[in-house]
Amino acid sequence: MPELKKLIHSIAIAIFKLTTKLLPDRIPLTFVGTDSFRQLCRSIAQIGVKKVLIVTDAGLVQIGLVAKVSEVLKDCGVEWTIYDGVEPDPTFDHVSQGLSLYRSESCDGILAVGGGSPMDAAKVIAAGATSAKPFARLEGLLKVRQAPAPWFAIPTTAGTGSEVTIAAVISEPDTHTKKFFIDPKLLPSMAALDPALMSGLPPQITAATGMDALTHAVESYLASTSTKQSESFAIAAVKLVFSNLQRAYSEGSDLEARNAMALGSFYAGAAFTRTGVGYVHAIAHAFGAYYRTPHGLANAIVLPHVLEYSRDPARKRLASLADAIGIEGSSDYEKASKFIDAVRELMRSLDIPDKLDALKSSDIAPIATQALKEAFSNYPVPRLMTQEECESLLRRIMT
């Protein structure tokens, strides 16, 4: 790879690292445990919020989970209206519809109930509620000038960690190109990690979202921007996922495992929101844009391949992750290899494929181009990837 390109990347990541060091270090007030969502609802009332827009998806409304939350809000004296139009990979159309309802219903707060998509939508709706600017002018790094409307999070999956991250991802409605909103103001005021609300999650979603959390933790730990604090969060997340994901997958009503996974997702989110991610996410985002592949599943499929690519320069870091989950070896390289094998074994136990059926040979070059463009100035990867290397990696993912 040309030395000039490496230099430009190094400068971009150095600027990124300096910027993150200047960001305020805040974690939202978080209630944890069974029925913690009730504590959150009471706290929303106590701070004087009168009416919330519940941002969610139609599926959670249909199974009665949103009604469970709204009934508690009513008991606490908080009015509500529901926007359930959020779909996976929310678009600007979704957030525009949500903002219109927020304003027409005279809401003064937002409660996201769901996975990463409702929470990302809620973040951008909250930012738009206090700004005269169109959403496009709020996109990017530190573009949210006004404090957003107060918003609160009840995650129903253990994967994205969006309840503790400063970023939101919204897609263009036609091209599904990802647009990133990154600002500490996008953090919620409060969140509730309630394992009972996750107990009905289907096994395949439990698996994919859990692997999403693992990806966040691993990519954060391997990032050149990592800090002692982010590393401690990432290690905690890796331990929790490896110890509890298979249990949560095979026995969805195991509240201890669900609670541990919720914490793992939270810690992983707290880690990567300070450090950024890497090529796994860049390629997964491209899969989402081309094939609407669920983000957690895309991350899971790509993760071991990128770890193999990064093994040599990141072997000490990967060896430390192996140590964290009790893997032994005679050298860092051996432990790094065994950690990658452990990731693959975890995927097999969760019935996650290691190939992407939708991937077409004709799409490999443009997907590689898109992924490398996303990663180049934004992600502190341990080893830069060329177009040819990325295309070769993608061919290994084809069925």
Q: Map tokens 């600017």 to a residue.
A: 133
Domain segments of the chain as ranges: 24-198, 201-397
Q: What is the rounded CA–CA span in Å between residue 26 and residue 16?
A: 18
Structure tokens at 263: 């914490």
Strands 109-114 and 151-155: parallel
pTM of the model: 0.93
118 in Cβ contact with 63 (< 8 Å): no
Q: How would you write 83-142 as a 3-class SS string?
A: ECECCCCCEHHHHHHHHHHHHHCCCCEEEEEECHHHHHHHHHHHHHHCCCCCHHHCCEEC
DSSP states along 182-238: E-GGGS-SEEEE-GGGGTT--HHHHHHHHHHHHHHHHHHHHSTT--HHHHHHHHHHH
The reported pLDDT for the residue numbered 141 is 86
The reported pLDDT for the residue numbered 178 is 83
Nearest to 198 by CA among 244, 154, 233, 153: 154
The half-sphere exposure of 187 on its side-chain side, counting CA atoms within 13 A, is 20
Q: Which residues pair with 118 in a beta bridge?
A: none
Please count the residues of the chain: 399
Q: Is 290 exposed, middle or buried (0-12, 13-18, 19+ CB in 10 A)?
A: middle
For domain 201-397, the CATH class is mainly alpha
The reported pLDDT for the residue numbered 186 is 97
308 in Cβ contact with 337 (< 8 Å): no
Q: Which residues pair with 150 in a beta bridge?
A: none
Q: Into which CATH architecture does domain 24-198 fall?
A: 3-Layer(aba) Sandwich (3.40)
Nearest to 23 by CA among 212, 161, 227, 266: 227
Residue 382 three-state SS: coil
Buried b (16+ CB within 10 A) or exposed e, 193-230: bbbbbbbebeeebbbbbbbbbbbbbbbbbbbbbbbeeb
The one-letter amino acid code at 282 reads A
Nearest to 275 by CA among 330, 208, 230: 230
The one-letter amino acid code at 268 reads A
DSSP states along 324-365: HTT---SSHHHHHHHHHHHHHHHHHHTT--SSBTT--GGGHH
Structure tokens at 346: 């975890």
The reported pLDDT for the residue numbered 77 is 98
- pLDDT block averages, 10 residues each, the chain of length 399: 70 70 80 98 98 97 96 98 94 96 98 96 98 93 94 97 95 82 95 96 96 98 94 98 98 97 98 95 93 94 98 97 97 98 98 96 97 91 96 95
The reported pLDDT for the residue numbered 172 is 86
Which distant-in-sequence residues (6+ apart) come within 8 Å of 24 by Cβ?
A: 184
82 in Cβ contact with 61 (< 8 Å): yes
